[in-house]
Amino acid sequence: MIGNEIKRHIEEAEKIIYKYLPKEEGFQKTIFEAMNYSMTAGGKRLRPILMLETYRLFGGKGNVIEPFMAAIEMIHTYSLIHDDLPALDNDDYRRGRKTSHVVYGEAMAILAGDGLLNYAYETACKAFDMTSDTVRTAKALKVLASKPGIYGMIGGQVLDVLMTGQVMNEEQLYFVYENKTAALIEAAMAIGAILAGASDDEVDIILQIASDVGHAFQIQDDLLDVLGNSDVIGKPIRSDEENGKVTYVTVHGINQAKEDVKILSERAVKRFTELEYENEFLKALIIFLVTREK
C-alpha cells in the first residue's frame, strides 16, 4: 500500500521538477543534455517529497514550494554527479545506468554538476514571483544556501574524503553523517515548514526529525552496501569497502547498525507528537525509507 502511495508522490514530484529543467538548445546544448540526463535518471525524489509533505503538514497551499522542490533535487543531483567522478568514488553506474562522466566525459560531468548547483538557486529565486510573502521566501532561500555548503553537505564530504582509508572516531563519523547526508534532508523539511508559516519552535522540531531521518537513512545506505543486491539498488555493492571508506557498519557492526536505524526512525516519528498537525503519509514514508532495500 505504502509503495503505491510513494510511487504516486514520486510521479507528482517529478512532474513539478521537470517543469524547471533547462531546454536542450543553443551553443551550450551539451551541458543541458548532461544536466537533464542525471536529473531524469529516476530515484526516490526523497528531498522534494519530504519538502512538499512538510509544507502540507503545516497547511501550506499554492505553488511557491515548487521552485524549491526542483532546486533541492538539482543540488542533490549535482552532488551525486561529483561523487561519482574518478577523483572521488569513481563509480560507473548510478540508479542502474551509466554515470555522467562515463557518458559525457569527466570535464562535462564537472560542468554539469556546477551548472545544476548554480541553476538550483536561479530556479529557487523564481519563488519570489509567486508570492507576496518575500520574508518567508528569503528565509527559505537562506536555508537552501547554507545547508548544502561548507558548513553542511560539502563540509561533510570534505571530512569523508580526508578520512578515506583511516579510522574515524565517533565524533567524526557523526559529523560526516549529519552534514553529508542529513543536511539536505534538514533543508528540505525546514524549507517546507518555513514556506507554510511554521513558527521558529516548530521549525526546530522539524530539524530534529530531519536529522534523525538523515542519520537513519545513511546507516541504512551503509547496510545496503554490505547486504544489498546490486541488481536491486542499481549500483555495485561493497563499493565503500573497495574505496577504503569507513562507515557506520565498519565501526559498529551490522547488528548495531540495524538497531540504531530502528531507534532513530522511531524517535523521528515520535517527535511528530510535539506538533499540532498530522500527516500520516509523512510518518509512513520515514519508516519506509529506513527499511528500504534500495
pLDDT digits (tens, 9 = 90+) for 192-221: 999 999 999 999 999 999 999 999 999 998
Amino acid at 3: G
Confidence band of 232 (pLDDT split at 50, 70, 90): very low
| Residue 98 φ then ψ, to 5° | -60, 145
CA distance linking residue 113 with residue 116, whole number of Å: 5
Residue 237 has pLDDT above 90, yes or no: no
pLDDT of residue 241: 54
Cα–Cα distance measured from residue 233 to residue 237, given in angstroms and rounded to the nearest whole number: 8
Sign of CA dihedral 233, 117, 168, 164: positive
Residue 270 cell numbers, joined: 515520535
CB-based burial label for 60 (10 Å; 0-12, 13-18, 19+) = buried
The answer to whether 73 and 17 are in contact (CB under 8 A) is yes
Distances (CA, A) of 267 to 206, 211, 219, 270: 12, 11, 15, 5
- Residues with Cβ within 8 Å of 281's Cβ and at least 6 positions away in sequence, in order, are 5, 9, 53
Taking all residues of the chain, what is their mean pLDDT, rounded to a whole number?
A: 91
Please give the pLDDT value at position 229.
Answer: 54
Cell of 61: 497551499
Residues 259-287, mean pLDDT to the nearest whole number: 91
Q: What is the pLDDT of residue 137?
A: 98
**pLDDT of 231 strictly over 70:** no
End-to-end alpha-carbon separation of the chain, Å?
A: 18
Q: What is the pTM of this model?
A: 0.92
Task: For residue 40, give the amino acid letter.
Answer: T
129: helix, strand or coil? helix
Q: Torsions phi, psi of 86, nearest 5? A: -55, -35
Structural domain boundaries in the chain: 2-289
pLDDT beyond 90 at 245: no
Own/partner pairs for 286-289, CB < 8 Å, 24+ apart? 286/209, 286/213, 288/2, 288/3, 288/6, 289/44, 289/46, 289/213, 289/216, 289/217, 289/220
C-alpha distances out from residue 217 to 52, 138, 209, 257, Å: 19, 29, 12, 11
Spell out the CATH class of 2-289: mainly alpha
Cα Rg for the chain, rounded, in angstroms?
18
Check whether 230 has a pLDDT greater than 70.
no
DSSP H or E run through 91: none
